[in-house]
Structure 1
């Protein structure tokens, strides 16, 4: 933690300040505060340096998909980009936003189940898309309209998540909004954003801290370490462990 904080002192300070503020804010305003803090760090030299040093990706992978199906009053939402370990790209973000908006518009949907195809729940946001919007103010404005967390937080009481495998970054941030999370015993959880010079900006400072408290959330962010499934259960990050995600 000391080494990580020394390497990214501005990001560490800002995420700490943000987590102190969030308990006093309702969900919508808390997401706005998170986005503003994230925008501040998007414009930092540390984040720009991380983008410039990031290894170039290999062959481009297919665009992400979000599959929807309905059975009675249950809407199932599936992350469907297994070839990229369900890294969430722009198409998937838009699909998730639309899926949760649908659940909020149709009150006959009494349960929303989020799960993923493949052996990873999600490795987080698609790294190749970092830095595509260089203007932090514009990026903040876009998040205010399209961030899936904006809709997920409105149906969180009806939402459950089935996690199998890695649940990282934006994937964990979204999942943590759910009222009930079930994970397989091989699953693990991580918030790695500090090393990129930023903070969890997909709603995670709000969702994770509402689940496990701001101290443990800060520990996850500053250390960047992985929590195994047993630790996640003990901390309250998940509600139950199973042998089979289905």
Structure 2
């Protein structure tokens, strides 16, 4: 197995646990995904994938309340359409890198996993979660849109009807519902979540790398053409909604809500 990637990830830590890399999102109070974190994660997965037998990865969040609350939209204050397009390109590239990562990737969801966080989890091979975890796509209520690639992945795994209900309502759902619909494999206590995820990653990592790589590629079926189409859809949608006054008002309100969350953490 490879040693930890030399790529630095601003806003996250990477620890080698006997051959399993534990990547922890660590941006208090909500582990929000700012642009430097997204770029760092993409570089991490792309660099690690270049090795002959990459180490398995566990992705989790710091603290007891948040895996990640999704994108850090405070970065968008005072910016223009070029900034939102750049952010969406970077996030799409991260999802592509995770989709094509050839080795075990386990998500250990320790709390709220919404928006962009939900999309990250969808590109893990297995999701384990604590009972207090929540999931969903609240973007419609906050003046945002998920990445097209993330929505396509959700529809593939969970079914179009279920995802249509999630994204058009923006409602969140609890961990037991996530198990029922097949998003989460099983629930673990906060104390057992990370050990269970490491065990799952190590067990999967013991499989022959060449076979694991081939099987994962067949199941995920990555496609340059589809990825380009998804990116084009994402960029076109971003251009439409970024300067829309209703969407802008929703984003402003969401920023105020996040400030309240930070004050009570």
Question: Which TM class, normalised by the smaller chain length?
Answer: 0.5 to 0.7
Q: TM-score by structure 1 length? A: 0.66
- Asked if structure 2 preserves the Cα contact closer than 8 Å seen for 1:149 and 1:202, the reply is no
1:95 maps to: 40
- Asked if structure 2 preserves the Cα contact closer than 8 Å seen for 1:147 and 1:202, the reply is no
Cα deviation digits, residues 122-150 of structure 1 (max 9, x gap): 111002123634138x8169616873112
- For the pair 1:143 / 2:143, whether they are aligned, the reply is no
Give the 5 Å matches for 1:40-51.
none
- For the pair 1:155 / 2:101, whether they are aligned, the reply is yes
- Asked if structure 1 preserves the Cα contact closer than 8 Å seen for 2:134 and 2:174, the reply is yes
Alignment gaps of 5+ in structure 2: 1-8, 195-265
Alignment gaps of 5+ in structure 1: 1-62
- The verdict on how the C-alpha distance between 1:122 and 1:145 changes in structure 2, with shifts beyond 3 A counting, is closer
- For the pair 1:74 / 2:20, whether they are aligned, the reply is yes
Cα deviation digits, residues 127-176 of structure 1 (max 9, x gap): 2123634138x816961687311201101652110001110100111111
State the alpha-carbon separation in 2 of the partners of residues 154 and 242 from structure 1: 27
State the alpha-carbon separation in 2 of the partners of residues 191 and 161 from structure 1: 17
- What's the secondary structure of 1:147's corresponding residue? helix
State the alpha-carbon separation in 2 of the partners of residues 69 and 102 from structure 1: 16
Q: TM-score by structure 2 length? A: 0.62
Cα deviation digits, residues 86-134 of structure 1 (max 9, x gap): 0111121112111211221123224111011112101110021236341
- Asked if structure 1 preserves the Cα contact closer than 8 Å seen for 2:67 and 2:112, the reply is yes
1:217 maps to: 163
State the alpha-carbon separation in 2 of the partners of residues 116 and 184 from structure 1: 12
- The verdict on how the C-alpha distance between 1:145 and 1:209 changes in structure 2, with shifts beyond 3 A counting, is closer
2:31 maps to: 86
Query: How far 1:217 moved relative to its partner?
Result: 1.0
- The verdict on how the C-alpha distance between 1:96 and 1:141 changes in structure 2, with shifts beyond 3 A counting, is closer
Q: Which moved more, 1:194-203 or 1:220-229?
A: 194-203
Query: How far 1:72 moved relative to its partner?
Result: 4.4
Pick one of 126, 129, 133 that aligns with 2:75: 129
State the alpha-carbon separation in 2 of the partners of residues 84 and 116 from structure 1: 11
Query: How far 1:215 moved relative to its partner?
Result: 1.4
- What's the secondary structure of 1:114's corresponding residue? strand
- What's the secondary structure of 1:125's corresponding residue? coil
Count of matched residue positions in the alignment of Structure 1 and Structure 2: 182
| Runs of 4+ residues deviating >4 angstroms | none
- The verdict on how the C-alpha distance between 1:92 and 1:206 changes in structure 2, with shifts beyond 3 A counting, is same
